[in-house]
Structure 1
Amino acid sequence: MTTTLTRPAAAPRTGALTRQRRRTLLTGLALTVALVLLTGLALSTGQVKLPLLDALRALVGLGDSGDVLVVQEFRAPRVVSALIAGAALAVSGSLLQRLFRNPLASPDVVGVTGGASFGAVLMLALGASQLLIPLAALGGGLLAALLLGGFAWRSKIAVTRLVLVGLAVQSGLAAAVNLMIVRFPAELASSAMQWTTGSLYGRNWTEIQLCGSAIAVLTVLVFLLNRQVAVLDLGDDSAGGLGLDPHRTRLALLLLTVTLASLAAGLTGPVSFVALAVPHLVRFLAGPPTPGTLVLTALTGALLLLGSDYAVLNLLPVHGLPVGAVTATLGAPWLLFLMIRQGRLPQGRNA
């Protein structure tokens, strides 16, 4: 009797897990192939068109010196920056949505990227070195998180409602950034404005090494702590019953998320839409969160940002458009759709 009762109950779950793993694997392979092809395309196309093999040879320092200069100093830093920042933004957005239990949560909605912009623009106003911009962006992102936490603690707002407070923090920091830009000298205003819209222009290998190494370490930590996030998904009472302190764990994970998103913003500026949309796309393609879908999230974020930058450089009729303008154009209707969808759901239910 016991055997016949347990087998039918266990079989669907095993089958569902097998199907999700298969979907995750196939989706990961497709994303990897697309990412490799798009990377080769981005390295070989532009104002100076190169055959793909010549571009790959130039990437490792072989071939014509002019091709090596174009690929290694101009195109490769831009491509690598898009890959690193896109993956970091997507992973931070996925983690933030799970921590806040709100599908509208993302670094560009709750004020993190606004804080990063504030720190970076303030550093530009002080005439500091370009290498200090990522550190200033990190400080600004942490400032935004501190403001968010302070308002939430004083008002005792539930974690699912923190997005509303984050929108207020984001708006206030954006107003402060605009005020600084208006007061800038003309020669600084244009560079600050370009940075605040999100741009991959002018990236260099020193910035990539500083931000990329830190982002790599933080991303590994996110994967290592994925089990704790899964326990928090069960609710605070269940997490406490399993021996996990939900408040301390959520605070540590939130700090990790803010740092990851701020460093990505320090590399590319406050690029919107990527962190908000990618977790939803991955959930649609591969199902509920698992370590495998977290890999898909990183791949999809990298592909989306690199694809947007490729469109800016090669497909759109307007030249010199920052990549953040493209992602924001995509993100505005997506955010509206999510807000309408969230409003139709019963109270307390996640999308």
Structure 2
Amino acid sequence: MTRRPARTWLLCALLTAALLTLTAVALSTGQLRIPPVTALRALFGRGTAGDVLVVQEFRAPRVLAAAVAGAGLAVSGSLLQRLFRNPLASPDVVGVTGGASFGAVLLLALGASQLLVPLAALGGGLLAAVLLGAFAWRSGAAVARLVLIGLAVQAGLAAAVNLMIVRFPAELAASALQWTTGSLYGRSWLELRVGGTAILLGLAAALLSQRRLAVLDLGDDSAGGLGLRPDRARLHLLLLAVTLASLAAALTGPVGFVALVVPHLVRVAAGPPTRATLVLTALTGAVLLLGADLTVLHLLPVQGLPVGAATATLGAPWLLVLMIRQGRRTPIASAR
């Protein structure tokens, strides 16, 4: 028992080193190659004006957006899987990122300021959560079937987004389409100050909520006996998960499968959930999304491929395997 926390913190240290290494690589590679040490100096405003401009204005916002959004998506997926007690639950499966995409694209269609994208994405994510809850309540669905309802919500919102893009003027359609595929292109410091700061606050709130999550894991009766109101606590944590996923989508677009895959990887590597494993989850999400972005930028022969395509390639087979395993574990009698 004493070895597991030590192993978890060791993994956190290794992933922190990996994240710093990937950051140095991302800041130094591109059409203009800059030595890693020089790139790190330029990040803090030291060096030639050209190096500082390239690193600070073009590369650093993209790198930080990938790290922060990856961490937010991963933690959101971990929260949802624990709340629903379903390994298939994640923001992109139950419709939250689809709702965030709907809100952001609607904002673009109305011609509003880009500063409102995080709020629009958050509103769309909350709309998806409300739709999910309403359909589940009316149908009396069990927790295991919420994923199927979420897939339906996601499909409906995706159809609405596609309809808006088709109706867009030509000059807006291209930017909106790029946003909906999940892309880190063109991120700015202004977006990071708004959305990135909010995600970091959400991650801190998730760490502080770990005790309530642990009590909920014991079951509603035990949680009530310990003085916790399960319904209220579950609602607060659900809103936190939706907020994290929506704000991450505001930075990157609806990047899929990071929130689904990372919690499973962490459970295999570190065991049952604790505060340490939540930190490990955030670090894993940051490393995964930043690594995927570097892959599509520099390792694949196709230019301009969005990062969402890389994560979908990784995550789609994983989702299929999980659905097959979940189907085998579900008794036939309970599926009727």
Q: TM-score, normalised by structure 1?
A: 0.93
Deviation string 1:52-75 (CA, Å, 9 cap, x unpaired) is 111011101111111111000000
- What is the CA–CA distance in structure 1 between the aligned matches of 2:330 and 2:125, rounded to whole Å? 32
How much has 1:346 moved relative to structure 2? 4.4
**Rg larger in structure:** 1
The alignment status of 1:173 with 2:157, answered yes or no, reads: yes
Structure 2: unaligned runs, 5 residues or longer: none
In structure 2, distance between residues paired with 1:60 and 1:243: 49
1:218 maps to 202
Q: Distance in 2 between matches of 1:60 and 1:74?
A: 14
Is 2:301 the partner of 1:317? yes
- Whether 1:118 aligns to 2:102 is yes
Task: Report % sequence identity.
Answer: 75
Determine whether 1:205 maps to 2:189.
yes
CA drift of 1:291 comes to 0.5
Find the partner of 2:9 among 1, 4, 25.
25
The one-character-per-residue Cα deviations of 1:143-201 (angstroms, maximum 9, x if unpaired) are: 10111111112222222321111111101000100111111111111111100000000
Per-residue deviation, residues 220-249 of structure 1 (Å, max 9, x unmatched): 111111111111111112212222111111
**CA-to-partner distance for each residue in 1:1-55, whole Å, 9 max, x for gaps?**
xxxxxxxxxxxxxxx2x12112102211111111111110010011110011110
Listed as ranges, the matches of 1:154-303 within 5 Å are 154-303=138-287
Aligned to 1:47: 31
Distance 2:150 2:7 in 1: 34
Question: Separation in 1 of the partners of 2:38 and 2:105?
Answer: 39
Computed over aligned residues only, the root mean square deviation of the Cα atoms, in angstroms, reads 1.3
Aligned length: 333
Match of 1:327 in 2: 311
How far apart are the structure 2 equivalents of 1:29 and 1:41?
A: 18
Alignment of 1:53-72 (within 5 A): 53-72=37-56
Report the Cα distance in structure 2 between the residues aligned to 1:62 and 1:221, rounded to whole angstroms: 35
Matches within 5 A, 1:7-156: 16=1, 18-156=2-140
Q: For residues 160 and 19 of structure 1, what CA distance do their matches in structure 2 show? A: 33
Moved more, 292-301 or 338-347: 338-347
TM-score (norm 2): 0.97
Give the letter for the 1:244 counterpart.
L
Partners of 1:147 and 1:316 in 2: CA distance: 38
**Cα deviation per residue 1:237-271 (whole Å; 9 max; x = unaligned)?**
22122221111111111011101110010111000
What's the CA shift for 1:89?
Answer: 0.3
Is 299-308 or 320-329 further displaced after alignment?
320-329
Alpha-carbon deviation of 1:206?
0.6
One-letter code aligned to 1:266: A
Distance, in Å, in 2 between the alignment partners of 1:117 and 1:110 is 13
Instruction: Write out the 4+ residue segments of structure 1 that deviate beyond 4 Å after TM superposition.
Output: 346-349
